Structure 1
Amino acid sequence: MEISVQNPRTIFENGRAKYVAYQLSLKNCFPVLPLDDTDHVWRSYREFHLLRNILRQRHKNLCFKEKELTMDPTFRLFFQSDLSFEEILKFHHGHYAEDFIKNIWQTNGITRQLEQVEENNSIEENLISVGEAHHLLNK
Protein backbone atom coordinates (compact mmCIF):
# COMPACT_ATOMS: atom_id res chain seq x y z
CA MET A 1 0.00 0.00 0.00
CA GLU A 2 1.32 3.42 -0.91
CA ILE A 3 0.12 6.45 1.02
CA SER A 4 1.32 9.87 -0.01
CA VAL A 5 0.79 13.10 1.87
CA GLN A 6 1.14 16.12 -0.40
CA ASN A 7 -0.10 19.58 -1.37
CA PRO A 8 -0.08 21.26 2.04
CA ARG A 9 -2.54 24.14 2.31
CA THR A 10 -2.75 26.67 5.08
CA ILE A 11 -6.34 27.08 6.24
CA PHE A 12 -7.21 30.59 7.38
CA GLU A 13 -10.00 31.74 9.69
CA ASN A 14 -10.65 35.43 10.26
CA GLY A 15 -7.49 36.35 8.38
CA ARG A 16 -5.23 34.18 10.58
CA ALA A 17 -3.55 30.89 9.79
CA LYS A 18 -5.47 28.21 11.69
CA TYR A 19 -3.88 24.91 10.57
CA VAL A 20 -2.34 23.10 7.61
CA ALA A 21 -4.32 20.49 5.67
CA TYR A 22 -2.70 17.83 3.50
CA GLN A 23 -4.07 15.94 0.51
CA LEU A 24 -3.92 12.18 0.99
CA SER A 25 -3.53 9.71 -1.83
CA LEU A 26 -3.89 6.00 -1.27
CA LYS A 27 -2.79 3.40 -3.79
CA ASN A 28 -3.69 -0.17 -2.94
CA CYS A 29 -1.03 -2.58 -4.20
CA PHE A 30 -2.74 -5.59 -2.61
CA PRO A 31 -5.89 -6.72 -4.47
CA VAL A 32 -7.05 -8.78 -1.47
CA LEU A 33 -7.55 -5.63 0.62
CA PRO A 34 -10.92 -3.88 0.17
CA LEU A 35 -9.42 -0.44 -0.44
CA ASP A 36 -9.90 1.63 -3.55
CA ASP A 37 -7.36 4.16 -4.75
CA THR A 38 -8.22 7.67 -3.59
CA ASP A 39 -6.87 11.18 -3.94
CA HIS A 40 -9.69 13.43 -2.74
CA VAL A 41 -9.22 13.38 1.03
CA TRP A 42 -7.81 16.32 2.99
CA ARG A 43 -6.70 15.90 6.61
CA SER A 44 -4.94 18.02 9.20
CA TYR A 45 -1.89 16.95 11.18
CA ARG A 46 -4.04 16.88 14.32
CA GLU A 47 -6.36 14.36 12.66
CA PHE A 48 -3.41 12.00 12.03
CA HIS A 49 -2.72 11.98 15.77
CA LEU A 50 -6.38 11.33 16.56
CA LEU A 51 -6.49 8.42 14.09
CA ARG A 52 -3.33 6.94 15.61
CA ASN A 53 -4.85 7.13 19.10
CA ILE A 54 -8.09 5.46 17.97
CA LEU A 55 -6.21 2.66 16.20
CA ARG A 56 -3.93 2.09 19.19
CA GLN A 57 -6.95 1.92 21.47
CA ARG A 58 -8.87 -0.41 19.18
CA HIS A 59 -5.88 -2.68 18.40
CA LYS A 60 -4.00 -2.73 21.72
CA ASN A 61 -2.21 -6.04 21.19
CA LEU A 62 -1.09 -5.43 17.63
CA CYS A 63 2.23 -4.15 16.46
CA PHE A 64 0.31 -2.20 13.82
CA LYS A 65 0.26 -4.90 11.18
CA GLU A 66 -0.83 -3.44 7.87
CA LYS A 67 -3.64 -5.89 7.06
CA GLU A 68 -5.40 -5.48 10.41
CA LEU A 69 -5.19 -1.70 10.24
CA THR A 70 -6.43 -1.38 6.69
CA MET A 71 -9.44 -3.53 7.52
CA ASP A 72 -10.41 -1.21 10.39
CA PRO A 73 -13.46 0.88 9.39
CA THR A 74 -12.05 3.98 11.08
CA PHE A 75 -8.88 3.73 8.98
CA ARG A 76 -10.92 3.30 5.81
CA LEU A 77 -13.17 6.28 6.57
CA PHE A 78 -10.12 8.44 7.34
CA PHE A 79 -8.37 7.68 4.05
CA GLN A 80 -11.31 7.06 1.75
CA SER A 81 -14.12 9.43 2.65
CA ASP A 82 -14.65 13.15 2.84
CA LEU A 83 -16.27 12.82 6.27
CA SER A 84 -14.88 15.26 8.81
CA PHE A 85 -12.86 13.76 11.61
CA GLU A 86 -15.67 14.62 13.99
CA GLU A 87 -18.03 12.55 11.82
CA ILE A 88 -15.53 9.68 11.84
CA LEU A 89 -15.42 9.89 15.64
CA LYS A 90 -19.20 9.77 15.72
CA PHE A 91 -19.09 6.59 13.61
CA HIS A 92 -16.39 5.17 15.91
CA HIS A 93 -18.69 5.71 18.91
CA GLY A 94 -21.65 4.03 17.15
CA HIS A 95 -23.75 7.12 16.37
CA TYR A 96 -24.35 6.31 12.67
CA ALA A 97 -26.78 3.81 11.23
CA GLU A 98 -25.15 0.96 9.33
CA ASP A 99 -26.97 2.02 6.15
CA PHE A 100 -25.33 5.46 6.25
CA ILE A 101 -21.84 3.89 6.19
CA LYS A 102 -22.83 1.46 3.41
CA ASN A 103 -24.02 4.43 1.36
CA ILE A 104 -20.68 6.17 1.88
CA TRP A 105 -18.93 3.24 0.20
CA GLN A 106 -21.51 3.26 -2.62
CA THR A 107 -20.54 6.86 -3.38
CA ASN A 108 -16.79 6.11 -3.16
CA GLY A 109 -16.53 8.01 0.10
CA ILE A 110 -17.85 11.30 -1.23
CA THR A 111 -20.67 12.37 1.07
CA ARG A 112 -21.73 15.14 -1.30
CA GLN A 113 -23.19 12.36 -3.47
CA LEU A 114 -25.21 10.82 -0.65
CA GLU A 115 -28.24 12.95 -1.45
CA GLN A 116 -28.60 10.95 -4.65
CA VAL A 117 -28.32 7.65 -2.77
CA GLU A 118 -30.47 8.53 0.26
CA GLU A 119 -33.45 10.44 -1.02
CA ASN A 120 -35.28 10.22 2.30
CA ASN A 121 -32.47 11.26 4.65
CA SER A 122 -30.64 14.55 4.61
CA ILE A 123 -26.92 14.71 5.30
CA GLU A 124 -27.58 17.22 8.07
CA GLU A 125 -29.28 14.48 10.11
CA ASN A 126 -25.99 12.58 10.18
CA LEU A 127 -23.62 15.43 11.07
CA ILE A 128 -22.55 16.42 14.56
CA SER A 129 -22.16 19.87 16.01
CA VAL A 130 -18.86 21.40 17.08
CA GLY A 131 -19.98 21.00 20.70
CA GLU A 132 -20.64 17.28 20.21
CA ALA A 133 -17.24 16.86 18.54
CA HIS A 134 -15.53 18.66 21.42
CA HIS A 135 -17.31 16.36 23.87
CA LEU A 136 -16.25 13.26 21.90
CA LEU A 137 -12.64 14.41 21.66
CA ASN A 138 -12.43 15.03 25.40
CA LYS A 139 -13.84 11.65 26.52
Structure 2
Amino acid sequence: MERVDICVRNPQTHFDSKNNKFMTYEIAVTAKSTCFALPFSTIRRQFLEFKWLRKQLRSDYPYINAPNLPPNLYFSDKYDPSCIAHRMKGLERFLEECIQIKNYRSDTTFHLFLQSDLPLPKLKEQNEGKCDPNFMELVWKQGGKTQPIAPDFWEQFENGAEGKLTP
Protein backbone atom coordinates (compact mmCIF):
# COMPACT_ATOMS: atom_id res chain seq x y z
CA MET A 1 0.00 0.00 0.00
CA GLU A 2 1.33 3.42 -1.00
CA ARG A 3 1.51 5.83 1.90
CA VAL A 4 3.35 9.07 2.64
CA ASP A 5 3.32 10.70 6.06
CA ILE A 6 4.55 14.26 6.46
CA CYS A 7 5.14 16.06 9.73
CA VAL A 8 6.26 19.68 10.11
CA ARG A 9 7.82 20.03 13.55
CA ASN A 10 10.70 21.30 15.69
CA PRO A 11 10.76 25.00 14.83
CA GLN A 12 14.12 26.67 15.37
CA THR A 13 15.01 30.34 15.47
CA HIS A 14 18.18 31.40 13.66
CA PHE A 15 20.05 34.62 12.97
CA ASP A 16 21.69 35.45 9.66
CA SER A 17 25.02 37.27 9.22
CA LYS A 18 23.25 40.64 9.61
CA ASN A 19 21.60 39.44 12.85
CA ASN A 20 18.16 39.17 11.22
CA LYS A 21 15.97 36.62 12.92
CA PHE A 22 14.27 33.81 10.98
CA MET A 23 12.59 30.49 11.68
CA THR A 24 13.14 27.07 10.14
CA TYR A 25 10.87 24.06 10.41
CA GLU A 26 11.82 20.41 10.24
CA ILE A 27 9.98 18.35 7.62
CA ALA A 28 9.91 14.64 8.41
CA VAL A 29 8.77 12.35 5.61
CA THR A 30 8.04 8.65 5.95
CA ALA A 31 7.30 7.22 2.52
CA LYS A 32 6.06 3.75 1.68
CA SER A 33 5.75 4.75 -1.94
CA THR A 34 7.62 4.09 -5.15
CA CYS A 35 7.33 7.83 -5.90
CA PHE A 36 9.92 8.71 -3.26
CA ALA A 37 13.66 8.07 -3.41
CA LEU A 38 14.07 7.78 0.36
CA PRO A 39 11.85 5.83 2.77
CA PHE A 40 12.56 8.36 5.54
CA SER A 41 14.00 11.85 5.57
CA THR A 42 14.21 14.95 7.71
CA ILE A 43 15.25 18.36 6.45
CA ARG A 44 14.77 21.99 7.51
CA ARG A 45 13.07 24.71 5.47
CA GLN A 46 12.18 28.35 5.97
CA PHE A 47 8.74 29.78 5.25
CA LEU A 48 10.14 31.72 2.27
CA GLU A 49 11.24 28.41 0.73
CA PHE A 50 7.66 27.11 1.03
CA LYS A 51 6.50 30.29 -0.72
CA TRP A 52 9.01 29.67 -3.51
CA LEU A 53 7.86 26.05 -3.87
CA ARG A 54 4.20 27.07 -4.17
CA LYS A 55 5.07 29.74 -6.74
CA GLN A 56 7.13 27.20 -8.70
CA LEU A 57 4.39 24.57 -8.67
CA ARG A 58 1.86 27.18 -9.83
CA SER A 59 4.22 28.21 -12.64
CA ASP A 60 4.98 24.63 -13.73
CA TYR A 61 1.33 23.50 -13.47
CA PRO A 62 -0.85 26.58 -14.17
CA TYR A 63 -3.94 24.44 -14.74
CA ILE A 64 -3.80 23.09 -11.15
CA ASN A 65 -5.11 25.09 -8.22
CA ALA A 66 -2.15 24.92 -5.81
CA PRO A 67 -2.96 24.47 -2.12
CA ASN A 68 -2.69 27.56 0.06
CA LEU A 69 0.05 28.31 2.51
CA PRO A 70 -0.71 29.78 5.91
CA PRO A 71 -0.88 33.58 5.72
CA ASN A 72 2.06 35.89 6.33
CA LEU A 73 2.10 37.16 9.89
CA TYR A 74 2.49 40.89 9.33
CA PHE A 75 0.64 42.13 12.39
CA SER A 76 1.35 39.28 14.77
CA ASP A 77 4.43 38.24 16.66
CA LYS A 78 5.52 35.46 14.31
CA TYR A 79 7.77 34.08 17.05
CA ASP A 80 4.90 33.67 19.51
CA PRO A 81 4.44 29.94 20.27
CA SER A 82 0.77 29.94 19.23
CA CYS A 83 1.61 31.63 15.91
CA ILE A 84 4.40 29.13 15.30
CA ALA A 85 2.09 26.19 16.04
CA HIS A 86 -0.56 27.61 13.69
CA ARG A 87 2.01 28.13 10.94
CA MET A 88 3.41 24.59 11.32
CA LYS A 89 -0.09 23.11 11.00
CA GLY A 90 -0.68 25.21 7.88
CA LEU A 91 2.64 24.17 6.32
CA GLU A 92 1.91 20.51 7.06
CA ARG A 93 -1.58 20.84 5.54
CA PHE A 94 -0.04 22.49 2.45
CA LEU A 95 2.41 19.60 1.94
CA GLU A 96 -0.24 16.94 2.60
CA GLU A 97 -2.52 18.53 0.00
CA CYS A 98 0.36 18.75 -2.48
CA ILE A 99 1.04 15.01 -2.02
CA GLN A 100 -2.54 14.30 -3.12
CA ILE A 101 -1.92 15.98 -6.50
CA LYS A 102 -0.53 13.43 -8.97
CA ASN A 103 1.56 15.95 -10.95
CA TYR A 104 3.20 17.26 -7.79
CA ARG A 105 3.89 13.74 -6.50
CA SER A 106 5.97 13.06 -9.60
CA ASP A 107 7.69 16.48 -9.68
CA THR A 108 11.46 16.37 -9.15
CA THR A 109 11.63 19.80 -7.56
CA PHE A 110 8.89 18.85 -5.09
CA HIS A 111 10.80 15.70 -4.12
CA LEU A 112 14.08 17.58 -3.70
CA PHE A 113 12.31 20.20 -1.59
CA LEU A 114 10.87 17.50 0.67
CA GLN A 115 13.74 15.06 0.92
CA SER A 116 16.99 16.92 0.35
CA ASP A 117 18.73 19.77 2.05
CA LEU A 118 19.57 21.44 -1.24
CA PRO A 119 19.61 25.20 -0.70
CA LEU A 120 17.15 27.33 -2.64
CA PRO A 121 19.69 28.43 -5.31
CA LYS A 122 20.44 24.77 -6.14
CA LEU A 123 16.72 23.92 -6.20
CA LYS A 124 16.21 26.78 -8.66
CA GLU A 125 19.10 25.60 -10.85
CA GLN A 126 17.73 22.07 -10.88
CA ASN A 127 14.24 23.28 -11.72
CA GLU A 128 15.64 25.31 -14.62
CA GLY A 129 17.58 22.29 -15.91
CA LYS A 130 20.95 23.92 -15.25
CA CYS A 131 22.40 21.17 -13.02
CA ASP A 132 24.58 18.29 -14.11
CA PRO A 133 22.34 15.29 -14.86
CA ASN A 134 24.26 13.14 -12.35
CA PHE A 135 23.84 15.46 -9.40
CA MET A 136 20.50 14.04 -8.24
CA GLU A 137 21.93 10.55 -8.06
CA LEU A 138 24.70 11.86 -5.81
CA VAL A 139 22.21 13.69 -3.60
CA TRP A 140 20.13 10.53 -3.17
CA LYS A 141 23.25 8.42 -2.51
CA GLN A 142 24.01 10.83 0.33
CA GLY A 143 20.50 10.28 1.74
CA GLY A 144 19.34 13.70 0.58
CA LYS A 145 22.01 15.39 2.68
CA THR A 146 24.63 17.63 1.15
CA GLN A 147 25.59 19.91 4.02
CA PRO A 148 26.29 17.79 7.13
CA ILE A 149 27.82 14.81 5.34
CA ALA A 150 30.26 16.64 3.10
CA PRO A 151 30.62 20.39 3.58
CA ASP A 152 32.49 20.63 0.27
CA PHE A 153 29.88 18.51 -1.56
CA TRP A 154 29.44 20.93 -4.46
CA GLU A 155 33.17 21.52 -4.84
CA GLN A 156 33.78 17.76 -4.99
CA PHE A 157 30.91 17.26 -7.42
CA GLU A 158 32.02 20.09 -9.72
CA ASN A 159 35.55 18.63 -9.73
CA GLY A 160 34.27 15.28 -10.99
CA ALA A 161 34.06 13.19 -7.83
CA GLU A 162 31.31 11.08 -9.51
CA GLY A 163 29.83 9.32 -6.51
CA LYS A 164 33.05 9.16 -4.51
CA LEU A 165 32.24 12.00 -2.16
CA THR A 166 34.02 11.88 1.16
CA PRO A 167 32.55 13.15 4.41
TM-score by length of 1: 0.73
Alignment match, 1:4: 7
Q: Indicate how the Cα distance of structure 1 residues 74 and 26 shifts in structure 2: closer, same or farther if over 3 A, else same.
A: same
Pairwise mapping of residues 52-131 of structure 1 onto structure 2 (< 5 A)?
52-63=54-65, 65-112=100-147, 113=149, 122-123=156-157
Q: Counterpart amino acid of 2:110?
A: F
Letter in 2 for 1:53: K
Deviates more, 1:18-27 or 1:56-65: 56-65
Higher helix share: 1
> Structure 1 regions of 5+ residues with no counterpart?
126-139
- Structure 1 contact 114–123 (Cα < 8 Å) conserved: no
Q: Which of structures 1 and 2 has the larger relative contact order (alpha carbons within 8 angstroms, sep 6+)?
A: 2
Q: Number of aligned pairs?
A: 121
| % same residue | 26
Kindly state the Cα deviation for residue 35 of structure 1 after the two structures are TM-superposed. 4.2
**Normalization by structure 2: what TM-score?**
0.62
Q: Rg larger in 1 or in 2?
A: 2
For residue 40 of structure 1, give the secondary structure of its aligned residue in structure 2: strand
Structure 2 runs not aligned, ≥5 long = 67-99, 160-167
- Aligned equivalent of 1:137: none
In the TM superposition, residue 66 of structure 1 has moved relative to its aligned partner by 2.4
Q: Provide runs of 4+ in structure 1 moved above 6 Å.
A: none
Deviation at 1:124, TM superposition (A): 6.5
**Given the superposition, is the C-alpha separation of residues 14 and 82 from structure 1 closer, same or farther in structure 2, using an over 3 Å criterion?**
closer
In the alignment, is the contact (CA less than 8 A) between 1:33 and 1:67 conserved in 2?
Answer: no
Shift of 1:85: 1.2
